[in-house]
Amino acid sequence: MKNSINGYPLPILSGQHNFRDLGGIPSAHGGRIKPRILFRSGDLHSISDQDVNLLENIGLAMILDFRSQKEREKRPNRKIPTVKETILLPIHDAPREMASDYVRQNNVEGLKLILIHEYSRIIQNYVAEYRQFLYELTYNPNIPLVFQCSAGKDRTGLATLFLLTALGVEKDEILQDYYATNYYAQAHAIEIIGILNKDGYHGEIMQPLLEVRPEYLNAALSEIHRSFQSLDNFVFGILQADAKKLRERFLIG
């Protein structure tokens, strides 16, 4: 039976294709991330009964949710019986509110720039949320866990960048995980574009919001270097990541 396509593991869940196990990613300090303990994802609203059973069998115990209250109310996660705690770390999703106006205006350049500005804004305004994210991963007893936003690509992508940096993962490995979203989310992107075309819009202009791009991550890194000197200083100094404890907890081998 196939367990991968084009080098990417098959999606774990049928109802959320961007749900991914970080297990197996190597650390430059030796070892790899333990399997079936750290997951990243989009929302868990449309997962199937079979998906719920799978997550229950994994023993999923905690959800760290970066979505705003409005997003959670619109698409609440399905209940997973083994989850003991959901911690809310809301980061306002400004692009969703702007995108519909830009689509109506056929504003191609505006749509290209939304996420560049958004990644900078997140670094400027949500240090406390990412600091708590790393704190919970270090000290909260409830594991395995998943951290998520709506699509599992931007707010979750930055969270993964900070976590993998704390775990000593090399830059190339971090980028490989970041860009994997474009593989896992492509079917959803095609669906959204199709819906917009059917409604009489030029759906293809939404493509920049439906994927991750180098310029988005570069915008975050530029803001980090401008305000906090370096990524390492940001992760270990500003976000206060405890590398030793995180590596003891999540690395094996």
Per-residue pLDDT, averaged over 143-151, amounts to 97
Q: How far apart are CA 52 and CA 60, in angstroms?
A: 10
pLDDT tens track for 165-208: 999 999 999 999 999 999 998 888 888 889 888 888 777 888 88
What separation in angstroms does the CA of 63 have from each of 30, 84, 237? Answer: 28, 9, 25
Residue 1 pLDDT: 39
Check pLDDT > 90 for residue 62.
Answer: yes
Residue 104 pLDDT: 81
Q: How far apart are CA 226 and CA 235, in angstroms?
A: 14
pLDDT tens track for 12-46: 999 999 999 999 999 998 899 999 999 999 999 99
Look at domain 14-252 and name its CATH class: alpha beta
For Cα atoms 172, 253, 142, give the angle at the middle one, nearest 5 degrees: 90
At which residue do the structure tokens 């989310």 appear?
185
Instruction: Show the tokens assigned to 138.
Output: 């270090």
Bridge partners (DSSP) listed for residue 88: 65
Torsion of CA 80, 82, 83, 85, to 10 degrees: 150
Q: Give the predicted TM-score (pTM) of the model.
A: 0.94
What separation in angstroms does the CA of 4 have from each of 11, 12, 23, 240? Answer: 9, 11, 15, 36
Residue 105: partners with Cβ closer than 8 Å, 6 or more residues away: none
Q: How far apart are CA 235 and CA 241, in angstroms?
A: 6
Instruction: Quote the mean pLDDT of the chain.
Output: 93
Check the CA dihedral 121-166-177-54 and report its sign. negative
Helix (H, G, I), strand (E, B) or coil at 75: coil
Instruction: Show the tokens assigned to 174.
Output: 């971090």
At which residue do the structure tokens 């109802």 appear?
15
Structure-model confidence comparison of residues 63 and 2, the more confident one: 63
Check pLDDT > 60 for residue 151.
Answer: yes
